Structure 1
Amino acid sequence: MSTASMAKGTGTAVPVPLPWPGLLALSTAAFTAVMTELLPAGLLPRMAPALGVSEARVGFLVTGYAAASFAAAIPLTALLRGLPRRRVLVGALAGFAVSNSVVALSSSYALTFAARLLAGAVGGLLWAMLVGYAARMVPAERRGRAIAIVLAGITLALSLGVPAGAALAGALGWRTAFGTLAGLAVLLIGWVRWRVPGFPGEPPEARMPLARVAALPGLPAVLSVTLFLLLGHQVMYTYVAPFAAHAGLGRPDAVLLVFGAATVAGIWLTGLLVDRHLRAALLTALAVCAGAMLCLGLLAGTHAVLFGSVALWGVAFGGAPTLIQTALVDASGPEVADVATSLQATVYNAGIAAGSLTGGLALDALGPGALPWTSLPLVAAALTTVALGSRYAFPAARRRLSSGS
């Protein structure tokens, strides 16, 4: 049975409150994963002398994490799908604790890089679990809200956590920042064991082969939307600084600040809409994102338009992952959501890498002004896929209303 159900009074069904302590623990796990992945990017000048390497090689600590996450998500999820879910979650968090502890103590670049590969591998496993775990903790009609709460940890890490980590490193040293992350992971293990319910793994006779999961009705469309959106987003986001300079703005950090604040608003708004209006909300988000790219392509030289378009882009993109992942769980069902999410995590990382590459090629060949026009058809492809996917992937009325067991 699900850990959440409908409590009935005198003939009227009343929803049980959301399991906030457990969902917030999962959200903190998402926060920890993002912080672990991105913290070295803000500490390059401090870490390089201590490890005896160049800043570029310290940057590879982020690249190594992403590569390990990309490579490990599917095989680790498939290998461990039969184990109790909470045990796997605790194991992933223990991996973060060990990795960040090694980084905090190591003076060897090779050892530090190996620790980052470990973190990336358990990070890929964690991302494959979180959404499906949240979906199993609540009734299906509250699934989207639960996923939004968990994914809010990403937004919090990007908007507050990474800057705070950099500030802590400046005040007390970069090793203290990584040690703090290790301590957070240890505390989070206790929180998960205390307040996150346990679920069984998949018995061997019930395990759906990976190829069958990938071919479930609606799943290819959801994965396609993920890929197209990340491609289009990353084309612009990776090269915001040269585009802002092209538009006559000398403060790309101001653009990023507006975008980050808008993503917070986007995920909050999505939490209000996702369970009742998933299809309409996703169509609107993608249309707004496409419209923002069009405005950036035509009128970015007007700074009011530039900032307004970036704000709309941030609101739209901030909510899109929750909407898409809720659609993924609806299409797959919570029972195989971990495997489906591992596929999506791989597609997500591929979209980030390919989008950055595509944007770089466009920048080199055509200049910053071409970036919105490169992004626009990719976002439009995501919008078209949702518009056409009304039967299985993004139905007007959500069908798979089993909350899992």
Structure 2
Amino acid sequence: MSISEKKPSVDPGSRIQDQKEQKLPMLALLALATAVFITSLTETLPAGLLPAMSSDLNVSESATGQTVTIYAIGTALTAIPLTAATAGWRRKQLLLVAMAGFAVANTVTAVSENYSVTMVARFVAGVAAGLAWALLAGYARRMAPPHLQGKAIAIAMAGIPVALSLGVPAGTFLGKVISWQAAFLTMTGLTVLLLVWIAAIVPDYPGQKAEARTPMLRTLKVPGVTPVLFVTLVFVLAHTILYTFIATFLDELGMGDSIDVVLLVFGAASLVSIWVVGSQINQRLRGLMIGATLLIAVAAALLAVLSDSTAMVYLAVVLWGLGWGGAPTLLQTAAGDAGGEQADAAQAMLVTLWNVAMAGGGILGGILLDAVGSTSFPWTILVLLVPVLVVVLAARSHGFPAKRASVDA
């Protein structure tokens, strides 16, 4: 080849500049964030509606709290097998099927007058969540250039604090003003709108080819994956014990009329948290995870010893929200980074353990509520967070490293 035929060399500086000028597909990512919002709100909505639901379904509040548990069990039992079975499906098709499942399940929940039927509907919603959660973080990654993948996941995961800050308080308000059934029917309407949005805006991607799939259990041997999964299990368990029964906990403090306000404060703090995590996760994932654990521990300590002060309860709720809001993004990013080429398998395992923890939190919280009372919740959280902090501190090489080696600064 002559000199004149040689291709011009690419200036590395211009390549970096082109990369920086790439933008995120915001409308598509916001659709994913709305899907996350619906999955999160569907799971946690009963927390603000326990008294009304238990009255209409003629069961105790601890039994009604198990509507959160059965949802989590549905996700935990099906996330890994369904993720494996649908690995070859096109991503958009799978997301549409999952969200349609929410529309059906929330409608049945709203019209049901029977506790058993309600529990079946909640289980189906959990199955739909297992499908959705296992693909949403990976979907967001595929929409973004490498240097923006952390931010793309943070945007998608913003649906969680929005659900907590706006969705649950709004659902609680609807439950007071109209009925708890209206809250679930509103979820159905939102889901139908989202199905149209996804069909029109969200790009499609192929599933995995059969030869590229790896047995999921082999992922546990990848350095860093097991610590992340352990932290996910115990961290989420600690959070769920209190959050599932937050209405009952506040009732015992004489703050039963302030449930929607408390949840609004919690969610607002969570929004701040996810903004901080989204902007700092590339450089400070480890520090952010340590900080999240300590913030929730301090919040639990305040609720344990100073809950007779309304001001201290609100301060604890703010700290709790600051610790919790960015946690899903931190844990999903850590799992994806640790899993490497087996990131999808790591994400499916994280989803499973997340919902095992949600189910365990509902069960353990119900047992504690009946046996000891809700004042035991903060002390239980403190005990659970000790091993979480130890594992995060120990996983400095893999799992929660100081710097994310897989991300371009």
- For this structure pair, what is the TM-score category when the shorter chain's length is used for normalisation? 0.7 to 0.9
1:25 to 1:66, Cα distance in 2 relative to 1, 3 A: same
Aligned counterpart, 2:335: 328
CA deviations on 1:202-234 (whole Å, 9 max, x unpaired) are 111110101112332211010111122123323
Q: Residues 41, 373 of structure 1: CA spacing in aligned structure 2 closer, same or farther, 3 A cutoff?
A: closer
| d(CA) in 2 for partners of 1:78, 1:60 | 28
User: What is the identity percentage for the equivalent residue pairs of Structure 1 and Structure 2?
Assistant: 44
Instruction: Kindly provide the amino acid, as one letter, of the partner of residue 12 in structure 1.
Output: Q
- Whether the 8 Å CA contact 1:147–1:322 is kept in 2: the answer is yes
Normalising by structure 2, we get a TM-score of 0.82
* Distance in structure 1 (CA, Å) of the matches to 2:397 and 2:362: 32
CA offsets, 1:4-48, max 9 Å, x none? xxx985873424122111110001111222333344565678778
How far is the alpha carbon of 1:134 from its aligned partner?
1.0
1:156 aligns with 2:162: yes
Look up the SS of the partner of 2:282 in the other structure.
coil
Alignment partner, residue 3 of structure 1: none
With structure 1 as the length reference, what TM-score do the two structures score? 0.82
Give 1:255-404 correspondences, 5 Å limit: 255-333=262-340, 336-359=342-365, 370-401=376-407
Which residue type is aligned with residue 153 of structure 1? G
Amino acid aligned to 1:272? S
Is the 1:39–1:162 contact (alpha carbons within 8 Å) kept by the matching residues of 2? yes
1:240 Cα deviation after fit: 4.9
Aligned pair in 2 of structure 1 residues 58, 230: CA closer, same or farther (>3 Å)? closer
Cα distance change on mapping 1:100 and 1:145 into 2, 3 Å? same
Partner in structure 2 of residue 203 of structure 1: 209
Deviates more, 1:92-101 or 1:241-250: 241-250
Contact map agreement 2:337 2:406 (CA 8 A) in 1 = yes
Check conservation: 2:33, 2:155, Cα contact below 8 A.
Answer: yes
2:226 match: 220
Per the alignment, residue 119 of structure 1 pairs with 125
Counterpart in 1 of 2:17? 12
**Per the alignment, do residues 374 and 67 of structure 1 end up closer, same or farther by CA in structure 2, a change over 3 Å counting?**
closer
The amino acid across from 1:317 in the alignment is W
- 1:98 is aligned to 2:101: no
CA contact (8 A) 1:131 1:337 kept: no
CA–CA distance in structure 2, aligned partners of residues 299 and 114 of structure 1 = 40
Task: Give, in whole Å, the separation in 1 of the partners of 2:376 and 2:55.
Answer: 38
Q: Deviations over 1:178-201 (max 9, x none)?
A: 444333323322322332222221
User: Structure 1's 87 and 391: CA in aligned 2 closer, same or farther, altered over 3 A?
Assistant: same
Between 72-81 and 361-370, the greater mean CA deviation after superposition:
361-370
Task: For residue 355 of structure 1, report the CA deviation from its aligned partner.
Answer: 3.6
Does the aligned pair in 1 maintain the 2:166–2:267 contact within 8 Å?
no
Q: Indicate how the Cα distance of structure 1 residues 90 and 331 shifts in structure 2: closer, same or farther if over 3 A, else same.
A: same
Q: Distance in 2 between matches of 1:112 and 1:247?
A: 29
**Structure 2: 5+ residue stretches without partners:** 1-11
> Mean alpha-carbon deviation: is it higher for 393-402 or for 238-247?
238-247
Residues 10 and 99 of structure 1: CA distance in aligned 2, closer, same or farther (over 3 Å): closer
Larger mean Cα displacement after TM superposition, 320-329 or 282-291? 282-291
Give the direction of change, closer, same or farther, for the CA distance of 1:396–1:15 in structure 2 (3 Å limit).
farther
Between 340-349 and 360-369, report the one with greater CA deviation: 360-369
| Distance in 1 between residues matched to 2:370 and 2:55, nearest whole Å | 32
| 1:86 shift after superposition | 1.5
CA gap 1:80/1:396 in 2 versus in 1, 3 angstroms: same
Contact 2:265–2:318 (Cα < 8 Å) also in 1: yes
Aligned length: 393
Q: CA contact under 8 A between 2:110 and 2:185: conserved in structure 1?
A: yes
Bigger shift: 371-380 or 245-254? 245-254
Change (3 A) 1:77 1:167: same
Instruction: Check conservation: 2:335, 2:347, Cα contact below 8 A.
Output: yes
The amino acid across from 2:317 in the alignment is: V
Residue 325 of structure 2 aligns to a residue whose secondary structure is: helix
The whole-number CA distance in structure 2 between the counterparts of 1:366 and 1:328 is 36
What CA distance in whole angstroms lies between the structure 2 residues aligned with 1:241 and 1:42?
A: 6
Q: Residues 380 and 139 from structure 1, CA distance in 2 versus in 1: closer, same or farther, beyond 3 angstroms?
A: farther
Cα contact 1:282–1:320 (8 A) shared by 2: yes
For 2:393 and 2:94, locate their aligned partners in 1 and report how far apart those are by CA, in whole Å: 37
Q: Which residue of 2 aligns with 1:132?
A: 138
- Tell me which residue corresponds to 1:4: none
The structure-2 alpha-carbon separation of the partners of 1:11 and 1:360, relative to structure 1 and needing over 3 Å to count, comes to: closer
- Structure 1 residue runs of 5 or longer lacking an equivalent are 1-6
Give the counterpart of 1:24 among 7, 30, 46: 30
For 2:283, what is the secondary structure of its paired residue?
coil
Q: CA RMSD in A?
A: 3.5
Distance 2:276 2:297 in 1: 19
